[in-house]
Amino acid sequence: MLATAPLHAAAPVAEAGSYSVSRADVETMLNALPPTTRTQLKGDKSALNAWLRERLTTQALAAEAQKQNWADKPEVKQLIDAATREVVMRSYIAAMSKVPDAYPSDTELQAAYEQGKASFQQQPQARVAQIWLAAPAIDADAVTKARKTADEVVGKARSKGADFAALVRQYSQDKEGAAKGGDTGFVPEPQLLPEVRQALAALKPGDISAPIQTATGLHILKLIERQPARTLTLDEVKPQLRDALRAQRQQQLAQTYVKGLIDNSKMKIDEAAIDSLLK
């Protein structure tokens, strides 16, 4: 969260001379992002700072171009005119090919789902909690030291009544993950490291793995839950399926409208003139 930002929407959160970015500017940018991206950016101050620097630089560049009356240069005017025509054309064709709000109907969604059912597959997934100890595989001394700690942690984790989340917070060197008790959420198993997949295959929910060596360190895993591969339900895919069908219908309507603008039977092309241009 932007807890340190000024409360007033117009107050600047970044300044460079006469250029500034307000709290409202930042909030507008954040609200335009997909929820997942917005959450990631809020937790990545360096990325947000980079965006602010880029925004200030853009303001400065635009001001310098305006001082030089750059937009009045003939070649720039041509580019502006071309861009304007493109924007107008796209806006117009979008309006002329607007898809009815009621499309697709539940019946059409069901039919599209049945037709594409084979593609609506979810890979097997695993949800684990993890303790990670930094120990690059190429550093034998670091591995030896980390493995001693890892063996002790596994013993504690497997003891009766052990609080794995507390052990994560105490030992894991993945601080961001440790704040969530090491919980990774559900991850498609094919995306996991081969060493991790192999270890998980032998675990049942609640089991604690032995230390797993990867290129970056040692992992101690607790399997929380496993989901087998399955076909996603219509309700699960309905939003993206509806969007796909509407986009497809919009494209069809646009093509039909464009084809109707010109009667091909009345179109004439001077082939001789074309040939002379191509010589």
Q: Does 250 or 261 have the greater pLDDT score?
A: 250
Residue 6 pLDDT exceeds 60? no
43 confidence band (pLDDT: 50, 70, 90): confident
pLDDT in tens, 143-172: 999 999 999 999 999 999 999 999 999 999
CATH 3.10.50.40 spans which residues of the chain? 124-230
Q: Which residue has the tokens 């909030």?
A: 27
pLDDT value at position 9?
Answer: 65
Q: What CA–CA distance (Å, rounded) separates 29 from 185?
A: 27
CB–CB of 23/13 below 8 Å? yes
Q: Which residue has the tokens 């030089």?
A: 68
Q: Does 207 or 9 have the greater pLDDT score?
A: 207
Long-range pairs of 22-26 with CB within 8 A, sequence gap ≥ 24: 25/55, 26/2, 26/52
pLDDT value at position 8?
Answer: 57
Residue 3 pLDDT exceeds 60? no
CATH number among 3.40.190.170, 1.20.1290.10, 3.30.70.1710, 3.10.50.40, domain 124-230: 3.10.50.40
Question: Rounded to two decimals, what is the model's pTM?
Answer: 0.62
pLDDT value at position 199?
Answer: 94
Q: What CA–CA distance (Å, rounded) separates 41 from 32?
A: 12
pLDDT value at position 4?
Answer: 39
Average pLDDT in the chain? 91
pLDDT value at position 164?
Answer: 96
Long-range pairs of 158-161 with CB within 8 A, sequence gap ≥ 24: 158/208
Helical axes 106-115 vs 234-261, angle rounded to 10°:
100
